[in-house]
């Protein structure tokens, strides 16, 4: 349990086996079938691979096995970030990790506890909930996100499909976050490597990565909370199409309303909280700690027990759920921001030479006691860090 003191960056230096060992997670290279019975039940297909149901031979415990091909761009990051986050009670727990050959390819097999309660919105659709229930659900989601953000980790794929209940029992089930395929540790270290010396970087650029990635999660929380309280998304296409130019424009300008028919009975506190998350200006959007401290979340026992129209709306319009899911997918894809990839690096340019020259000059200045002249523009443009808006999905084979 000494792991609590160690940061992700500290642990990340270790090879995967030791990394997992530090977190008390088993890492094995023998065949997974020696310890688990694989079933044909497919629980879904993620970006990096499939998820199937498994059963531990020793005690019949149900598990979910996720195959992540080792050559996938984020394979190691997914295993490590998920393993690190597994300490949070609102993150699906990793039981073991295997490294096996599958169809001739090397892959990680992540064995998780099986979340047999299914997706959050499937449950909401089937039962009437009150505003207080919604607050409790948002608190569970917020707890997971707070755990991650306070450790410099952005999930970047917060959507209803990634929120599952641990069991079918409504009273005891815990809501947990799944899928770390897009998760990212967002410290400044990416911008400090020799390849990306930020000569031209404005101060705000240095904060951009952290701010954007974290605030992307906050926007997602805002959308999830909106849907939870009414049963339809804040932004939707008027044409019935999954995404339209009008809808894009409304998202970009933050144009949404709280239609009185469904929202008049919802507390102002809840609506204000949503507004603080669905704020277009990233600098004005609230962070997770402020969210968690807001009375609606911190004092759920004082939130009114007004019934919500959510399940009725979700039921009335089966497409609503699909629409919400699609809408979040599109928005998430455009919101994920990455540092420049190594391809942007110009290997011919030597920053070290420049640095050496600088240091020599500084010494000379000190010796001469003057400020010296300026020939600041001598380095290569290609080393300027760019915050690329690569669609990650396009980069994954």
Active centre residues (catalytic): 157
**Closest distance between ligand I85 and the C-beta of residue 89, in Å?**
15
Asked if 65 is part of the footprint of ligand I85 (rule: CB under 6 A), the reply reads: no
Residues 248-287 that bind ligand I85 (CB under 6 A): none
Asked if 51 is part of the footprint of ligand I85 (rule: CB under 6 A), the reply reads: yes
Cα separation, 273 vs 252, in Å, equals 19
Which residue of 20, 32, 52, 64 would you call a contact of ligand I85, by CB under 6 A? 64
Which residue of 72, 124, 164, 297 would you call a contact of ligand I85, by CB under 6 A? 164
3-state SS, residue 386? coil
In sequence order, the 6+-apart residues with CB closer than 8 A to the CB of 160 are: 119, 120, 121, 224, 227, 321, 324, 325, 328
| 62/201 with CB nearer ligand I85 | 62
Asked if 158 is part of the footprint of ligand I85 (rule: CB under 6 A), the reply reads: no
Which residue of 44, 89, 194, 372 would you call a contact of ligand I85, by CB under 6 A? 44
Asked if 97 is part of the footprint of ligand I85 (rule: CB under 6 A), the reply reads: no
**Closest distance between ligand I85 and the C-beta of residue 163, in Å?**
10
- Asked if 341 contacts 390 with a C-beta cutoff of 8 angstroms, the reply is yes
Asked if 39 is part of the footprint of ligand I85 (rule: CB under 6 A), the reply reads: no
Asked if 66 is part of the footprint of ligand I85 (rule: CB under 6 A), the reply reads: yes
| 20/92 with CB nearer ligand I85 | 92
| 53/211 with CB nearer ligand I85 | 53
Asked if 75 is part of the footprint of ligand I85 (rule: CB under 6 A), the reply reads: no
Query: For the chain, what's the residue count?
Result: 397
Cα separation, 349 vs 353, in Å, equals 9
How does DSSP classify residue 6?
Answer: S
Nearest to 178, CA basis, from 63, 12, 291, 9: 63
Give φ, ψ of 391 to 5 degrees: -80, 110
CA 76, 82, 85: angle at the middle one, nearest 5?
Answer: 140
**Closest distance between ligand I85 and the C-beta of residue 15, in Å?**
23
**Closest distance between ligand I85 and the C-beta of residue 88, in Å?**
15
* Candidate segments 22-30, 157-165, 189-197, 279-287, binder of ligand I85 by CB under 6 A: 157-165
| 66/184 with CB nearer ligand I85 | 66
Asked if 157 is part of the footprint of ligand I85 (rule: CB under 6 A), the reply reads: no
- Asked if 185 contacts 365 with a C-beta cutoff of 8 angstroms, the reply is no
Nearest to 296, CA basis, from 259, 325, 266, 328: 266
Asked if 43 is part of the footprint of ligand I85 (rule: CB under 6 A), the reply reads: yes
Asked if 163 is part of the footprint of ligand I85 (rule: CB under 6 A), the reply reads: no
Asked if 179 is part of the footprint of ligand I85 (rule: CB under 6 A), the reply reads: yes
CA 67, 83, 209: angle at the middle one, nearest 5?
Answer: 100
- Asked if 181 contacts 78 with a C-beta cutoff of 8 angstroms, the reply is yes
**Closest distance between ligand I85 and the C-beta of residue 157, in Å?**
9
- Asked if 314 contacts 231 with a C-beta cutoff of 8 angstroms, the reply is yes
* Candidate segments 3-11, 69-77, 156-164, 329-337, binder of ligand I85 by CB under 6 A: 156-164
- Asked if 75 contacts 48 with a C-beta cutoff of 8 angstroms, the reply is yes
| 45/192 with CB nearer ligand I85 | 45
# chain residues binding ligand I85, by CB under 6 A: 20
Specify which residues 119 forms β-bridges with.
164
Asked if 46 is part of the footprint of ligand I85 (rule: CB under 6 A), the reply reads: yes
Burial class for 97, CB neighbours closer than 10 Å (0-12, 13-18, 19+): buried
Specify which residues 130 forms β-bridges with.
307
* Candidate segments 44-52, 101-109, 203-211, 282-290, binder of ligand I85 by CB under 6 A: 44-52
| 92/138 with CB nearer ligand I85 | 92
Where in the chain does DSSP place strands (E)?
26-28, 36-45, 50-56, 62-69, 94-102, 105-113, 118-119, 153-154, 163-165, 175-177, 184-185
- Asked if 176 contacts 166 with a C-beta cutoff of 8 angstroms, the reply is yes
Taking CB positions, which residue lies at the least distance from ligand I85? 44
Would you give the binding string for ligand I85 spanning residues 104-143, x where CB under 6 A is met?
A: --------x-xxx-x-------------------------
Interacting residues toward ligand I85 by CB under 6 A: 41, 43-46, 51, 53, 64, 66, 92, 112, 114-116, 118, 161-162, 164, 178-179
């Amino acid at each position: 349990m000494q792991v609590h003191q160690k940061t992700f960056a500290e642990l990340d230096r270790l090879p995967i086996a030791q990394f997992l060992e530090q977190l008390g997670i088993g890492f094995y290279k023998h065949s997974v079938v020696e310890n688990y019975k694989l079933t044909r039940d497919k629980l879904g297909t993620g970006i990096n691979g499939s998820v199937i149901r498994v059963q531990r031979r020793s005690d019949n415990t149900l598990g979910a096995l996720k195959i992540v091909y080792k050559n996938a761009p984020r394979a190691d990051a997914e295993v490590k970030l998920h393993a690190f986050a597994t300490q949070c009670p609102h993150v699906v727990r990793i039981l073991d990790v295997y490294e096996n050959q599958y169809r001739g390819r090397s892959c990680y097999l992540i064995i998780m506890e099986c979340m047999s309660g299914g997706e959050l919105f499937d449950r909401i659709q089937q039962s009437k909930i009150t505003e207080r229930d919604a607050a409790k659900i948002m608190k569970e989601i917020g707890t997971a996100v707070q755990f991650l953000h306070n450790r410099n980790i952005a999930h970047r794929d917060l959507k209803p499909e990634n929120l599952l209940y641990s069991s079918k029992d409504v009273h005891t089930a815990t809501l947990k976050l799944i899928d770390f395929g897009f998760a990212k540790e967002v410290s400044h270290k990416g911008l400090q490597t020799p390849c990306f010396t930020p000569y031209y970087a404005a101060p705000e650029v240095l904060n951009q990565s952290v701010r954007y990635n974290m605030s992307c999660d906050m926007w997602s929380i805002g959308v999830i909370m909106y849907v939870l309280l009414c049963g339809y998304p804040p932004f939707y296409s008027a044409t019935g199409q999954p995404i339209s130019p009008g809808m894009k424009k409304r998202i970009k300008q933050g144009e949404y309303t709280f239609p009185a028919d469904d929202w008049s009975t919802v507390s102002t506190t809840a609506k204000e909280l949503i507004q603080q998350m669905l704020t277009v200006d990233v600098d004005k959007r609230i962070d997770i700690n402020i969210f968690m401290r807001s009375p609606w979340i911190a004092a759920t026992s004082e939130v009114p027990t007004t019934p919500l129209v959510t399940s009725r709306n979700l039921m009335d319009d089966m497409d609503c759920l699909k629409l919400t899911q699609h809408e979040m997918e599109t928005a998430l894809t455009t919101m994920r921001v990455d540092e420049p990839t190594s391809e942007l690096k110009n290997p011919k340019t030597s920053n070290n030479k420049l640095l050496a020259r600088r240091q020599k000059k500084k010494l000379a200045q000190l010796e001469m006691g003057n400020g010296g002249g300026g020939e600041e523009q001598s380095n290569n443009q290609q080393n300027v860090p760019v915050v690329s808006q690569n669609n990650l999905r396009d980069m994954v084979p």
